[in-house]
């Protein structure tokens, strides 16, 4: 089982028989001779991450849970509400969500050049054959390029461009105005690991934040594909909407490697022995677990609060629309509110 890789090996891509194009836009990745899509830079990356995961299991260290279930929240508006809005002419609510997702993907660009602290200097175990020891050998660079593009090939669109392309396929380019960017997607940085140097704590929590953003995004993939694939949602743009679903499916395929490697990274940290600022050894779980629990809770709460923001925005957009059916649409929207959220919704007038 190979456990050490060069940067060239980590960043190597499959040979493509066909490039990945959607209309006039050229995107990353490509297709083999059989027509199957391959994520860029995964000729060896998947094999490497799976080997490091197997090594963690062989040590008897558990893998942290990263299912979307840990959030205890669902995508809002619900599928039924979103389909009703689309049928009623309020597509800009989904348009905004797709736009914000693309904007968020672009914010991963710092992963390409982020400063990685010398973790070997404070961890007793040899990191040379671990995933942690390979973060600076292409893993973070590959992740950043997957999301925000390779600066060396700016003509190849990454996930930020892919989300905008999927949006435009479903709705048509310039169908609605571009919304203002969302802020506050990361849990704020505060000192919680005083036994570690600030730069080490910052890096670990930054990567935890990135992992939780990936977990939060996972459920959105199926949600979008379902909306795009159902013929009644985009009856006048049937073929482009089907292609939009395929495009989101390719993004989802790309994202699997991100969740996989970040899960192994956090799981490795839990098992390592750290040398703290006072020189005393401490098991990683004692440092990582309290912060990881807080990280999960913060993102779960953010999703719940964000759902309330989306509800307020949706209702405001419904009421601001021209035409005499807006009150009827608002009433139906509220009547379709998921049962677990009814306590947050005012009684319709």
Task: State the average pLDDT over residues 183-189.
Answer: 81
341 pLDDT higher than 70: no
Residue range 220-234, pLDDT digits in tens: 999 999 999 999 999
345 pLDDT higher than 80: no
Residue range 293-340, pLDDT digits in tens: 999 999 999 888 888 888 998 898 888 877 778 889 999 999 999 876
Residue range 25-59, pLDDT digits in tens: 999 999 999 999 999 999 999 999 999 999 999 99
pLDDT of residue 346: 39
349 pLDDT higher than 50: no
Q: How far apart are CA 70 and CA 109, in angstroms?
A: 26
* pTM (2 d.p.): 0.93
Q: How far apart are CA 103 and CA 75, in angstroms?
A: 18
**CB within 8 Å of 138: residues ≥ 6 apart:** 5, 7, 8, 9, 10, 11, 41, 45
Task: Encode 2-39: b = buried (16+ Cβ within 10 Å), e = exposed.
Answer: eeebeeebbbbbbeeeeebebeebebbbbbeeeeebbb
Per-domain residue ranges for the chain?
Answer: 7-344
pLDDT classification of 186: cutoffs 50, 70, 90: confident
Per mean pLDDT, which range of 100-109, 176-185, 255-264 is the poorest?
A: 176-185
Helices (H), 116-197: 139-148, 159-171
pLDDT of residue 347: 30
Q: How far apart are CA 159 and CA 107, in angstroms?
A: 11
174 pLDDT higher than 80: yes
Cβ 83 vs Cβ 233: under 8 Å: yes
Nearest to 271 by CA among 257, 261, 286, 292: 286
192 pLDDT higher than 70: yes
């Amino acid at each position: 089982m190979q456990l050490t890789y060069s940067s060239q090996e980590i960043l190597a891509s499959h040979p493509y028989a066909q490039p990945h194009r959607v209309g006039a836009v050229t995107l990353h990745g490509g297709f083999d001779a059989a027509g199957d899509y391959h994520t860029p830079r995964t000729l060896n990356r998947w094999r490497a991450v799976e080997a490091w995961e197997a090594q963690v299991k062989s040590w008897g260290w558990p893998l942290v849970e990263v299912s979307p279930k840990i959030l205890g929240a669902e995508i809002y508006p619900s599928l039924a509400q979103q389909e009703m809005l689309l049928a009623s002419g309020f597509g800009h609510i989904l348009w905004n969500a797709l736009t914000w997702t693309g904007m968020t993907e672009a914010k991963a660009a710092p992963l390409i050049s982020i400063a990685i602290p010398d973790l070997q200097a404070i961890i007793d175990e040899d990191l040379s054959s671990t995933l942690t020891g390979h973060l600076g050998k292409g893993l973070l660079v590959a992740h950043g390029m997957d999301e925000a593009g390779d600066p060396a090939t700016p003509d190849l669109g990454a996930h930020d461009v892919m989300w905008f392309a999927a949006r435009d396929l479903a709705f048509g380019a310039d169908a609605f105005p571009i919304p203002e960017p969302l802020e506050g997607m990361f849990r704020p940085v505060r000192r919680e690991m005083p036994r570690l140097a600030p730069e080490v704590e910052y890096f670990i929590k930054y990567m935890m934040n990135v992992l939780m953003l990936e977990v939060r995004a996972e459920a959105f993939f199926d949600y979008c594909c379902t909306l795009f694939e159902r013929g009644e949602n985009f009856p006048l743009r049937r073929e482009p909407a089907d292609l939009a679903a395929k495009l989101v499916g390719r993004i989802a395929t790309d994202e699997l490697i991100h969740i996989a490697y970040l899960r192994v990274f956090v799981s490795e940290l839990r098992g390592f022995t750290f040398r703290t600022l006072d020189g005393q050894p401490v098991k990683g779980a004692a440092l990582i677990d309290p912060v990881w629990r807080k990280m999960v809770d913060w993102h779960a709460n953010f999703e719940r609060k964000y759902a309330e923001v989306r509800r307020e925005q949706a209702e405001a957009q419904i009421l601001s629309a021209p035409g005499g059916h807006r009150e009827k649409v608002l009433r139906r929207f509220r009547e379709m509110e998921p049962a677990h959220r009814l306590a947050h919704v005012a009684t319709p007038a």
